Amino acid sequence: MGAAIELDALLDQRRVWKGRPVPPPTNAQPTGHAALDASLPTGGWPPAALSEILFGGDGCGELRLLWPTLARLTSSGERVALVAPPHVPYPQAWQAAGVDLRWLALIEASGRDALWAAEQCLRSGSCGAVLCWLPQADDRALRRLQVAAETGQTLAFAYRPLTAALNPSPAALRIVVDARPVQVRVLKCRGGLSSAAPLSLVGLR
């Protein structure tokens, strides 16, 4: 008790610096998954930044992870660009998830053209979110997307193979989608630490 009293006295005399809690961001972008939002320091996707989604194979929940966000954005009349998806989106599934297809733009490109298209969509500031599939992307390419997202104040999502987890990345957030069982793991998040424990999210099963 004596130590506690002495510490209180020091605080009262302003002889010890006391940190203040960081206020939540005013432009938070919820993921639509309560457990994931609770584990991220921003309470959702990092705004105006690049988020990497790493996955081992198509159909493991990598699209369903973003559907709540895309439904929210398109219902507000914000455009969502899909750059170089490996498959043609199935309209009925996207509509069933609440995505307004009128605000969905599909861009077919490959290699450097895909990176250029994603960068231009991000820089333009005309999209609520840009999703791009980058099987091969180096650190420099990812930094360009990060800067473009900041410039256009746009959510950027890069789908990359799970093997990319072994390499460093400038992305503000890195998430792994595991297929068996379907769950997500946060590898990296800017602004704080997140639990490395897997999260089972409703809607990804």
Q: What is the pLDDT of residues 90-149, one digit of tens each?
A: 999 999 999 999 999 999 999 899 999 999 999 999 999 999 999 888 999 999 999 999
Classify each residue of 76-113 as buried b or exposed e, where b means 16 or more C-beta atoms within 10 Å of its C-beta.
eebbbbbbbbeeeeeeeebeeeebbeebbeebeeeeee
Cβ–Cβ < 8 Å for 156, 149: yes
Q: Which domains does the chain have, with CATH numbers?
A: 33-189 (3.40.50.300)
Cβ–Cβ < 8 Å for 46, 173: yes
pLDDT digits (tens, 9 = 90+) for 55-100: 988 888 899 999 999 999 999 999 999 999 999 999 999 999 999 9
